[in-house]
Amino acid sequence: MKLVLAFALVLSLLAVSSTAEDFDFFYFVQQKPAVDFGIHGLWPNYAKCDRDDHLRRHGLARAVLGDDAFFSIVGRQGRCWPEFCNDDNELILSQIGGLVASLDRSWPTLSCKNRESFQFWSYEWRKHGTCSNLEQHEYFKRALALKARHNLTAILADAGIVPSNTETYSLSSVRDAVAQGTGFTANLQCNRDADGEAQLFQVYMCVDKKGEGAHRLPAVNAQQVSR
């Protein structure tokens, strides 16, 4: 009986993981390495990523299977986002041919190492894009459209928020300015410059599952969304 139950649970868990990715929204992430923002990625996310909640909901499966089996099967479903959903689906340059000039401008490699942009896009595609339920061309096209539609530099400047060595801005004032200017809920991530001063590093905008409209989500602390 116990074995049969375990099998049934394994099958149902596997069934879930083999259908279309069941995420809740995208984080559209832009980074500010210099004067203007560049795209970091368009990342599918689960709205509920609380591990305790997850364990509660799957308590029976965990009890029957034991911790090791449970975590190996549930695996990435227990996390805050899906990733690497199809290793056979490599990014093909010809699929995004018409977008390369725009991608070079808006989605440049962010690494200081001399990595090729295509490698960066391929990585983002493999890790996040394969979980997006979008085709390659559409995935990159939607990210570019989001960037084109909302110029964060201009939106912040309009709100009086400009890079400065003397002026400091509260996180909430930046978050509010992005929300007002874009209509998207925004989360922020800061880092420190060479002098140890906190500075704005990445802006996460919550985008619906189609990668087009706004997805409403409570703003959270930046640490919770970094990866």
Task: Check if 58 is active-site.
Answer: no
User: Which one is catalytic: 21, 58, 128, 137?
Assistant: 128
Question: Judged by CB, which is closer to ligand NAG: 12, or 199?
Answer: 199
* Residue 170 Cβ vs ligand NAG, minimum distance, rounded to whole Å: 22
* Residue 154 Cβ vs ligand NAG, minimum distance, rounded to whole Å: 4
Task: Check if 167 is active-site.
Answer: no
Alpha helices by DSSP H, the chain: 2-18, 51-57, 59-65, 67-74, 100-106, 117-127, 136-149, 152-158, 171-182, 222-225
User: Which one is catalytic: 40, 58, 150, 215?
Assistant: 40
Q: Which element (helix H / strand E) includes 192?
A: strand 186-192
**Angle, to 10 degrees, between the axis of helix 2-18 and the axis of helix 67-74?**
20
| Amino acid letter for position 22 | D
Question: Judged by CB, which is closer to ligand NAG: 110, or 157?
Answer: 157
Q: Which residues bind ligand NAG (CB under 6 A)?
A: 36, 151, 153-154, 157
* Residue 37 Cβ vs ligand NAG, minimum distance, rounded to whole Å: 8
Beta-bridged to residue 207, according to DSSP, are 26, 214
Beta-bridged to residue 199, according to DSSP, are 191
Distances (CA, A) of 15 to 22, 72, 124, 126: 12, 15, 26, 22
Task: Check if 40 is active-site.
Answer: yes
Question: Judged by CB, which is closer to ligand NAG: 47, or 154?
Answer: 154
Torsion of CA 175, 30, 102, 132, to 10 degrees: -110
* Residue 99 Cβ vs ligand NAG, minimum distance, rounded to whole Å: 15
Question: Judged by CB, which is closer to ligand NAG: 4, or 101?
Answer: 101
CB 189 within 8 A of CB 226: yes
User: Which one is catalytic: 54, 116, 124, 167?
Assistant: 124
User: What single DSSP character describes residue 214?
Assistant: B
* Residue 39 Cβ vs ligand NAG, minimum distance, rounded to whole Å: 11
Question: Judged by CB, which is closer to ligand NAG: 39, or 80?
Answer: 39
Q: Which residues are catalytic?
A: 40, 124, 128
